[in-house]
Structures are given as structure tokens and as C-alpha cells.
Chain A
């Protein structure tokens, strides 16, 4: 057995990295499958119907909708641009983009199984709150400058 104070060989280091990856492979496969399911049933058209109820509510809507959506960050920009054309406020757009890229319901079980329930709960609650605050601060700062 390799002692912790010994320098591992490069082959051992790769073997360990591959083993670590394989250990988490069922979870990664499950997340990919779940993301594909969400992308099929939750379309950008469906999302646009939730906005336009005032700035405060739009920030909350943007955060919740961003969190349940999934996919590449670039898609969130395209969807947000479409929403912008429909007159949705900057508050909602920023909340939506932020939540899309930092929160994900589909990743929650995987995150909890790797890092523990406590860390996952704290991190996601804080991320949710930070998204609301950043959306408000960013849109307000933008108003000051433009």
C-alpha cells in the first residue's frame, strides 16, 4: 500500500484519478439523463410566460425558472435576449442568467452525494439568496450608470 508521505508515480496518480472518476460515473450519467429529460419537457417558450409581473416578482420568477432550467450557459443568454425583446426587466434577466449558471435542481442529488447534504443545502440556499441580491444590485447599478 502506498504511504501518504511518498511521492506517487505518474501512473499511480492517473490510476487514482481514473478510479475516482469511475466511482462518480453512475451519478454523472444520472445527471446527464435528468438534464436531457428537463430540456425536452421545459422549453424556452414555456419559460417566457412566467415574466412581466413587476420587478420584485420577476427577480423571484427569474431565479426559480433559471434554477429549474438546464443546459449550456450560452442558451441562457439566448433565452434572456428573447425575454429582453419582449420587454422583460433587467432585474429578471440577471436573476434568470445567474440562476441558470449557478443553481440546478438536476444537480442537487449528485452534489449532496459527493459533498454531503449539509454543504449542499447551505450552498444552494446561499446561492439562491445571492442570485436575488446580485440581480437587484446589478440592475440598480446599471440604472445609475445608464
Chain B
């Protein structure tokens, strides 16, 4: 069995060190912070399960060749469309989706499409009625249309920048 190579251990040690410092200098807040951490973890557990399932299904149904076809360098408009759709319907915090994106990247997912996915996530379907209620329909439509336009624009620019550097 392949040995696990953990990523972000230094970052985790840094955060643990911050928690230790807070518990020394601001003991009153540490229980609140620990409670928040636990709550957040508990809330995103279903999203982790969804991400693991999606990653497994992508691994199972989409061979690297197909991933390249849909999301690789020649994926074109279809790739952008699927990525925007994926970004819009994906739930939970961005970091919960890193494992899936990392896995797809190893199979040929373009950096530009990762950027498009990340930006399109600013359009949050479940929150749209809430946004309309607070700020009105014109505000919601205008902001979200611009987000999608700029998600595509940003993806194209990232691809150009990374390609330029690789030359």
C-alpha cells in the first residue's frame, strides 16, 4: 500500500502554535475558538463525504483521456461551460474541494479552469433568494453576471500567464 505523504503539516503546526499562544495569553477565548473549530468541522463533514464520492466517481468513470478532453488544454467552450456549472453548484468552503481539483489536475485539468471554478463559486445558488431579499433583483443579477464573465476572463488570463512562464 502506498505510504501517505501529508501536505500542509508545517501549516498545521503553525496553527497549533497559535492556539497554544492564545490559550496562554487569552485563555477566555480559547474555549470559544475550539468550539468554533469543532462546529465548522462537523458542518463540513457531509461536504467532505460528497467530495470524496465525487472524486471516486470521476476516477471511476472519467479516464485521464476523458478528463483531458473535457477539461484539458483543448477542452474549449465545453470545458468552460462545465467548469462554470461545477463552480456554481459546488457547496461548502473552497478548501473542501482542493483534494478533488488536485486529483483532476494530476489528470490534466487546466490551471485556467481551476481559476474559473474558484471564481464562479462566488455565485451561490442557495443564497440567491437571500441576496435578492437584501439587495434587490437588479443588484443580484448585475453582480452575478459580472462574476461569471470575470470567471471566464480570469481563467483565460491564468492560462496565458502560466503558458508564458513555461515557454
Contacts and interface: CB of A to CB of B under 8 A. Distances in A.
A80 B118 CA distance: 22
A94 interface: yes
Given A28-B98, A32-B40, A94 B4 contact: no
Interface string B110-127: 010011001101101001
B136 to A, nearest CB: 9
Contacts of B95: 27-28, 31, 107, 110-111
Contact of A37 (B7, B22, B96, B131): B22
B163 to A, nearest CB: 12
Interface residues of B, number: 73
A97 interface: yes
Given A22-B4, A32-B37, A113-B7, A119 B139 contact: no
Contact of B122 (A10, A102, A123): A102
Contacts of A127: 118-119, 154
Contacts of B115: 119, 122-123, 126
Interface in B127-155: 127, 130-131, 134-135, 138-139, 142-143, 146-147, 150, 153-154
- Majority-rule SS of A interface residues: helix
A24 B98 contact: yes
Contacts of B75: none
A109 B127 contact: no
Nearest to B107: A4
Interface residues of A, number: 70
Contacts of B2: 19
Interface of B: 2, 4-9, 11-12, 14-16, 18-19, 22, 29, 32-34, 36-37, 40-41, 44, 48, 51-53, 55-57, 59-60, 63-64, 93-96, 98-103, 105, 111, 114-115, 118-119, 121-122, 124, 127, 130-131, 134-135, 138-139, 142-143, 146-147, 150, 153-154, 157-158, 161-162, 165
Interface of A: 4-5, 7-8, 10, 12-14, 16-37, 39-41, 73-74, 77-78, 80-81, 84, 90, 93-94, 97-98, 101-102, 104, 107, 109-111, 113-115, 118-119, 122-123, 126-127, 130, 133-134, 137-138, 141-142, 145-146
Given A115-B114, A123-B158, 8 more contacts: A14-B52, A21-B51, A26-B11, A27-B95, A77-B130, A119-B158, A123-B118, A141-B142
18 contacts: A14-B52, A14-B56, A17-B59, A18-B52, A23-B5, A33-B15, A35-B93, A41-B29, A97-B143, A102-B118, A114-B101, A115-B105, A119-B111, A122-B158, A127-B118, A134-B146, A138-B139, A141-B142
